Structure 1
Amino acid sequence: MRNPQKAGELTDLPNVVIMPLDLMNPEQIRETSQKALGEYDVDVLFNNAGYGMMGPFEKLPEKEIRKLFDTDVIGTMLVTQQFIPHFKERKGGAILTTTSLAGTIALPRDGAYGAAKRAQQGMVESLYYELKPFGVKAAAMIPGGTNTNFQTPINILDGYEEPAARQREYLLDGNAAFPGPEEAAVAVWTAVNDGKDQVNYPTDSVCQKLYDQYQGMDVEDFKIYFYDRVFGGEEK
């Protein structure tokens, strides 16, 4: 993890080893990855680190966009590259990557974050083909809104207050709060152990419903539907 000193109670769990890993530090990525591979027979790589950002696209700071892509895209790719030869050699295992519903359904104020998550999704889908001949599973864990302590340091409204509220209502799908991480943990366990030739795993029932809705509609029809729902069909 990026700050091992924040591991807290994780250090007290059996069979848990904390190693430093900053996704913006390529040298540390290489060192920590090789250390893990040298000491353990790794059977699952779970890319779950991320950096969040929301706001009207023209308002997003360049510095933060670069940090987002360095973390979510470049860092994730560099870690994955380190582990692929190991999995191909052992002819088994799984590489899971937490993408996002934003990487499938491009939503307002998600221009940068959704682009980063779509890049991750593209990596996963390409790896599916490359690794399947070696018996290695590549899969995307797709959360929607999840009630965790995940930080979104950039969250700009700037005139989008009402559409943002309607978008949140859509993602809540009638629930009082977003699902907790427990459902996501079950989805990860399922992806590792179900033996299915499956790439995409929405991580909770609400996300599954919205994902299926999007997949079941013509893309252009969905855009009209979502625009009317969030913006009320009004043009500025």
Structure 2
Amino acid sequence: MSFPVLAAAAAAGIALRTDWKASVTVLDLRGDGRWRWIVGETFATGMLQPVVNGILLAALGPAGSVGYRIVATVSGGLEPIISFARTRLLVRHTALDLVISGAAALTAAGVAVALGASGVLGALFGAGWTTTLLLALATACFWRLSTLATTVPFAAMRRSGRARTVFWLRLTSTAVYFLLGVSAAFLRSVEWVFLAYAAAEVTTFVLYASVNRRISIAATRPSAAMVRDTQTGRIRAIATQE
């Protein structure tokens, strides 16, 4: 089946199942316009990912690209858990959801590595899987797990309405992914690619966490308000709590 047919079927399914009235309410189309930053962020980051994948597959060569796809597919088993946690955290921050999701993702990562070490993946993927990919799989699982940590400051900023800030942070993160991932691909090593992904995600976490911390501190810091002194008639600044 051709790609256009699959794409059309997917679009039709989404259109049929979408509650458009609720979607308009969520996006707040007549509000302050934050939804434009969110849509722009999704478009910009999503558009670049196929380009990165194309460069990676071409640079890795036939054998390397097969190994890359296998590792990406197996480690992708963690994504439903991480996506669930991301959705929950975008609504509200709860330590219980984070602990449960983290434990589930860690268990899934352990199972994936165990399947690779025991030879099950070799039986499933045949010659495409080699024992040399086990390190790449472990690294890919670490990369997926690290995205769960990044979700915490990301969701906090999104909940506080910092759509513009998140937009520029996501673009910066995407640029880091692009530079590190493509550079590693030309080493023709699947392990180096996923190690570059992990390094990019750790960098993203540090960036998100530092910006979110500054926002939190600024939100609790007293600000100055100008008032007129009733006795002297002069205008002076007083501290107010935001």
TM-score between the two structures when normalised by the length of structure 1: 0.30
Q: Which structure has the larger Rg over C-alpha atoms?
A: 2
Higher RCO, 1 or 2 (CA under 8 Å, sep at least 6)? 2
**Higher share in strand:** 1
**Higher share in helix:** 2
TM-score between the two structures when normalised by the length of structure 2: 0.30
